[in-house]
Chain A
Amino acid sequence: MILSLNKDTIHVLKEQDVVFLKNRVKETAVKIKMGLVNQTRLLTACSELVRNMMRYADGGVCIVEVVSSGRNNGVRLTFSDRGPGIPDIAAAMRDGFSTGKSLGLGLPGTKRLVNEFDIKSKVGEGTVVTILKWANG
């Protein structure tokens, strides 16, 4: 059972918002005593997803949550946008696949950095990506 303890909604539309979001995620991770390496993984994952959101959907909303399950605490981030959506999620999750000019590591790489990863997308409606990183794990 995963309980949500604290919820924060941040609108990301400009580059300054990205800096603000990253700071907030970092603060949250420090607050639940997440180790440095896991903090770095979480922030890198956040950085990848927020870039996708800015590049393909001109921004969106990120929900920062502190979650708890038993004796373990974690940070859950939910990125939702109203962009064009992803037609083939399976392809987007493969290493080296990109419709833009990037390396195509964003989504599969992000998945490797976090404990839980979920992506839902509808063409023409938008994309929602949820990631969860436990403080120790």
Chain B
Amino acid sequence: MDKIPILRMGAFLLVTIQVDLYDRLALNLEADLVQMVNKTNAKGVLIDISAVSIVDSFMGRIIGNIASMSKILDAETVVVGMQPAVAITLIELGLPLKGVHTSLDMEKGMNLLKSMIDETEEDADEDQTADDFIAE
């Protein structure tokens, strides 16, 4: 069975999706990632989808699930590098990925995660910063 590798980098988990996901692969990723968050006590998850050309409602749901599940395990999820065509299609499909943080590239995503985690440590009630853009 194919697997998408999950890399650990400090308090973060890194996932780079290099192939177009089919359903089985996406479901495996969801299960593996939640396991990893729990095992490593990660504070953030970065999912790079810059090489993904198609995100349909099923894939969108998996991404939303990963974000919600990680949130329960106290980790933030940032999706980075979404292609313009994919973003337009998702909006038209009616899937704005509520509650998922997004970023243009890995570096910006990493900074966003760091600022979110600093914020939660400083003030447990506030978990949004001024430049924390939530896709709505």
Q: A–B direct touch, CB within 8 Å, in complex?
A: yes
- Which residues of chain A have C-beta atoms less than 8 A from B94's C-beta? 95, 105, 108-109, 112
- Which residues of chain B have C-beta atoms less than 8 A from A113's C-beta? 89, 92-93
Indicate whether B6 reaches chain A with its CB closer than 8 angstroms: no
Cα-based distance from A6 to B57 in the complex (angstroms):
29
| B95 and A105 within 8 A (CB) | yes
- Which residues of chain A have C-beta atoms less than 8 A from B23's C-beta? 15, 51
| B93 and A51 within 8 A (CB) | no
Cα-based distance from A7 to B30 in the complex (angstroms):
38
| B85 and A109 within 8 A (CB) | no
Indicate whether A30 reaches chain B with its CB closer than 8 angstroms: no
Residues of chain B at interface, number, CB under 8 A: 22
Q: Which of B39-47, B48-56, B119-127 has 4 or more CB atoms under 8 Å from chain A?
A: B48-56
- Which residues of chain A have C-beta atoms less than 8 A from B89's C-beta? 37, 40-41, 44, 113
- Which residues of chain A have C-beta atoms less than 8 A from B92's C-beta? 41, 109, 112-113
Q: Describe A's contact surface by its main secondary structure.
A: helix
Cα-based distance from A43 to B24 in the complex (angstroms):
18
Indicate whether A106 reaches chain B with its CB closer than 8 angstroms: yes
Closest residue on chain B to residue A112 by CB atoms: B92
| A15 and B22 within 8 A (CB) | yes
Indicate whether B84 reaches chain A with its CB closer than 8 angstroms: yes
Cα-based distance from A44 to B86 in the complex (angstroms):
9
Indicate whether B61 reaches chain A with its CB closer than 8 angstroms: yes
Closest residue on chain B to residue A48 by CB atoms: B56
Indicate whether B88 reaches chain A with its CB closer than 8 angstroms: yes
Residues of chain A at interface, number, CB under 8 A: 24
Question: Can you sample 25 A-B contacts with CB below 8 Å?
Answer: A15-B22, A18-B22, A37-B84, A40-B53, A40-B54, A40-B86, A41-B92, A43-B53, A43-B54, A44-B56, A44-B93, A48-B57, A51-B56, A51-B58, A102-B57, A102-B61, A103-B60, A103-B61, A103-B95, A105-B95, A106-B57, A109-B93, A112-B94, A113-B92, A113-B93
| Minimum-distance CB pairs A-B, first 10 | A109-B93, A40-B85, A47-B56, A37-B85, A105-B57, A112-B92, A44-B89, A44-B56, A40-B89, A105-B94
